[in-house]
Amino acid sequence: MDLKEETIWRNIRQKDAGTFERYYKANYKSFFLMACKYLRDPAQASEIVNDVLLKIWEDGDSLRIETSLKSYIYKAIINRSINVLKKNKRELSHLADLNNIPEEGYELRQIEENELMVKLYAAIDQLPDKCRQVFEMSRFEKLKQQEIADKLGISVKTVKNHITIALKQLSISVINHLLISILIFKYLFGF
């Protein structure tokens, strides 16, 4: 966690309503968009984001956040979204059984994709601090390389290097996850 985020987190844990409100307003849209990406339902997405942020506010003093606050919240939103998708899948499965309607594999694919995204966010957390910060600013905050360089006081070339390193490490993590999935599939089905 960088110094700015540590200060925000400390203030939130101390129930500084102004800090929490500013953080909420500054980050709500990106959290909401992440939840919408998974759920494709703005009402559910909004509910999940509000629940996660409310939990941060209410249980801040008992939460242990070892990475960045933003990454922690993204992971919490993704996990809750996956749980909602699983619940929806169970409900759809039950309805399909009742109506003898064959269920499509769409929901299962969504769950698998979401689990891959959880692995990806875990891999992002494993990046070196500055590299992770640059990558998150580029991908989540949608800042241009020059804007990132200006905000962090580094060169555009350094920004590009951090992004390149992040993408290489993340691709290795994703490839490893896919290889393990393939090996499990081969083992189970004998291909």
Residue-level pLDDT at 102:
43
Give the CB-side neighbour count of residue 41, counting CA atoms within 13 A: 9
Residue 27 domain flag: yes
CB 57 within 8 A of CB 97: no
* Structure confidence by residue, pLDDT tens digits, 14-27: 999 999 999 999 99
CATH number of domain containing 144: 1.10.10
At CB < 8 A and 24+ separation, what contacts does 24-33 make? 24/53, 27/70, 27/73, 28/53, 30/140, 30/141, 31/73, 31/74, 31/77
pLDDT band at 187 (very low <50, low <70, confident <90, very high): low
pLDDT averaged over every residue in the chain: 82
> Do residue 19 and residue 96 come from a single domain?
yes
Top-confidence residue, 23 or 179: 23
Q: Is residue 118 part of a domain?
A: no
Whether residue 90 sits in one domain with residue 144: no
Q: Across residues 107-124, what is the average pLDDT? A: 72
Residue 117 lies in a domain: no
What's residue 159's pLDDT? 92
pTM: 0.51
Per-residue pLDDT tens digits for 35-85: 888 888 888 989 999 999 999 999 988 888 877 888 889 899 999 988 888
Query: Is 119 inside any structural domain?
Result: no
State mean pLDDT over 142-163. 93
Q: Which domain holds residue 71?
A: 1-111
Q: What is the mean pLDDT of residues 117-121?
A: 78
Write out pLDDT tens, residues 92-115. 665 555 555 444 555 556 666 777
How many structural domains are present in the chain?
Answer: 2
Domain boundary (111, 137, 165) is at 111
The answer to whether residue 88 is domain-embedded is yes
Residue 188: the pLDDT is 54
Last residue of a domain, one of 79, 111, 143: 111
Residue 116 lies in a domain: no
Give the domain-ending residue among 51, 77, 111: 111
Q: Are residues 5 and 41 in the same domain?
A: yes
